[in-house]
């Protein structure tokens, strides 16, 4: 198999096809800390794309409760176990060398195996086909925490304080990652899966698909799903009409997807970044996604060790055990949480942009405002400024303008009781 460069791993890796990249890439950040588990995103996707016969089990967007939940059940534990067995067979340790951080290796170098590098593979990647009953409940173990150690009055014996809560859970929001090196595309014997050159969205050509389910088997995130009524596989389409700006309400500019635009928790920010010919991200210093992922490194890929270079990034939850988060998001977790907990002046302003407009934001500017708070975070001095952040859409027009401190509007006395 050819070698391709995977910047999440900081090294080349083997993949089924020669390296090729889109001009732009569909990217999103999900801030786990803010998710309220309301499933509005899940319902929005279902109502838009998967409401027909044969799609009953299709939740292209799902939100699962970690550590026990998963859709299909235990999808990540099962893939991690396969990868672990591959490491044991090869006598290799799945370790990160964080001393080798570079611009093209921001998390250091992963010296373990990816799903396409396991020894003795007679497939394109390690994988398994979930049994039918593993798809039966999209929100199994909802709101189920780890063990609660209470005394005889039921009062927690350890208490809850950062950096790690003793009893914990968090919501993990999941859609297709529109991976740079999609395992689903590598797996397909019909070459029915392709990555669009204009935005990097990964689609299944329904006219070519014969329902062999190799994509279901080899996508490590289990985001390709089989439909028995058409005998083909289907997956998240990245709401491409909205991304193209052809949706009737888009005003001709790229829009965020349905699951992103509806989020009441304001945890999601979705956009397009420019990709250079070598696959690196072209510098877009004033792009909110580029800034948060590449400059601040506050958002991280999900299971980067799988090796597909996923394009959905997560701000990790502050309270979950670090070892669990390191396994899930790689070695950048401690720095990401530290920067999120005490954000820089610029990061605090940029984070206000989450879910303020349905239009994708391609550039931001900040107008400086006054100092409004001086305090300490983690024993260090921290200041808050009431800066104004302005977001610009795909046509370069101002799409949103807002301040760090939410303005207070007082209802006039004569209308105190009116709505």
Burial code of 29-44, b = ≥16 C-beta within 10 A, e = fewer?
Answer: bbbbbbbebebbbbeb
Q: Tell me how many helices (H) and strands (E) the chain has.
A: 10, 19
224 is an interface residue for ligand SF4 by CB under 6 A? yes
Output 219 or 272, the one with its CB closest to ligand SF4.
219
Total residues contacting ligand SF4 (rule CB under 6 A)? 42
273 is an interface residue for ligand SF4 by CB under 6 A? no
Nearest distance in Å: CB 155, ligand SF4: 30
Site for ligand SF4 in 356-375 (CB under 6 A): none
Binning the chain into helix, strand and coil, the percentages to the nearest 5 are: 25, 20, 55
71 is an interface residue for ligand SF4 by CB under 6 A? no
Check residue 327 and report its DSSP letter: H
8 is an interface residue for ligand SF4 by CB under 6 A? no
Nearest distance in Å: CB 241, ligand SF4: 10
CA-to-CA distance for 69 and 74, rounded, in angstroms? 7
The secondary structure of 337-373, three-state, reads HHHHHCCCHHHHHHHHHCCCCCECCCEEEEECCCEEE
49 is an interface residue for ligand SF4 by CB under 6 A? yes
Q: Which of 6, 25, 39, 250 is in the footprint of ligand SF4 by CB under 6 A? A: 39
Containing H/E element for 233? strand 232-235
Cα dist from 321 to 14, 78, 162, whole Å: 32, 20, 10
Site for ligand SF4 in 167-206 (CB under 6 A): 171, 173, 175-179, 182-184, 202
Three-state secondary-structure class, residue 68 = coil
Q: Which of 14, 23, 40, 356 is in the footprint of ligand SF4 by CB under 6 A? A: 40
Cα 54 to its chain centre, rounded Å, is 27
Output the DSSP codes for 13-57.
EE-SS-----SEEEEEEEEGGG-----HHHHHHHHHH--STT-TT
Site for ligand SF4 in 93-122 (CB under 6 A): none
Scanning 134-142, 251-259, 327-335, 358-366 for contacts with ligand SF4 by CB under 6 A, the matching segment is 251-259
37 is an interface residue for ligand SF4 by CB under 6 A? yes
239 is an interface residue for ligand SF4 by CB under 6 A? yes
CA-to-CA distance for 157 and 318, rounded, in angstroms? 21
Output 66 or 223, the one with its CB closest to ligand SF4.
223
Q: Which of 8, 66, 258, 359 is in the footprint of ligand SF4 by CB under 6 A? A: 258
391 is an interface residue for ligand SF4 by CB under 6 A? no
Torsion of CA 108, 110, 115, 121, to 10 degrees: 150
Output 175 or 350, the one with its CB closest to ligand SF4.
175
Under the rule (CB under 6 A), what is the footprint of ligand SF4? 35-41, 44-45, 48-49, 60-61, 63, 171, 173, 175-179, 182-184, 202, 219, 221, 223-224, 235-239, 257-259, 263-265, 267, 308
């Amino acid at each position: 198999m050819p070698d391709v460069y995977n910047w999440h791993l900081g090294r080349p890796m083997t993949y089924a096809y020669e390296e090729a990249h889109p001009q732009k890439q569909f990217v999103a950040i999900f801030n786990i800390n803010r998710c309220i588990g309301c499933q509005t995103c899940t319902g929005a996707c279902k109502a838009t794309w998967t409401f027909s016969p044969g799609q009953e089990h299709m939740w292209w967007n799902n939100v699962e409760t970690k550590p026990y939940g998963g859709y299909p059940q235990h999808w990540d534990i099962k893939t991690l176990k396969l990868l672990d067995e591959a490491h044991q067979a090869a006598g290799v340790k799945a370790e990160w060398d964080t001393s080798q951080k570079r611009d093209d290796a921001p998390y250091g170098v992963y010296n373990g195996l990816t799903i396409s590098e396991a020894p003795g593979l007679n497939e394109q990647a390690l994988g398994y086909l979930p049994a039918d009953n593993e798809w039966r409940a999209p929100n199994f173990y909802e709101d189920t925490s780890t063990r609660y150690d209470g005394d005889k009055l039921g009062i927690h014996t350890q208490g809850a304080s950062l950096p790690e809560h003793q009893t914990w859970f968090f919501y993990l929001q999941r859609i297709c990652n529109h991976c740079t090196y999609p395992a689903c595309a590598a797996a397909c014997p019909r070459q029915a899966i392709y990555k669009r050159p204009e935005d990097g969205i990964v689609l299944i050509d329904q006219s070519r698909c014969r329902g062999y389910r190799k994509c279901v088997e080899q996508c490590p995130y289990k985001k390709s799903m089989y439909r028995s009524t058409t005998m083909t596989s289907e997956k998240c389409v990245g709401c491409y009409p909205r991304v193209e700006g052809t949706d009737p309400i888009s005003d001709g500019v790229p829009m965020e997807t349905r699951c992103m635009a509806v989020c009441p928790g304001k945890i999601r920010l979705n956009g397009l970044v420019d990709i250079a010919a070598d696959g690196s991200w072209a510098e877009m210093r004033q792009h909110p996604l580029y800034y948060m992922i590449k400059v601040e490194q506050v958002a991280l890929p999900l299971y980067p060790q799988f090796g597909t270079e996923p394009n959905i990034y997560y701000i990790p939850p502050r309270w979950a055990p670090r070892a669990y988060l390191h396994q899930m998001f790689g070695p950048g977790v401690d720095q990401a949480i530290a920067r999120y907990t005490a954000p820089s002046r610029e990061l605090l302003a940029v984070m206000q942009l989450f879910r303020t407009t349905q239009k994708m934001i391609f550039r931001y500017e900040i107008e400086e405002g006054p100092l409004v708070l001086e305090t300490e975070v983690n024993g260090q001095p921290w200041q808050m400024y009431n800066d104004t952040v302005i977001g610009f859409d795909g046509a370069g027009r101002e799409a949103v303008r807002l301040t760090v401190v939410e303005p207070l509007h007082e209802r006039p006395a004569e209308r105190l009781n009116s709505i």
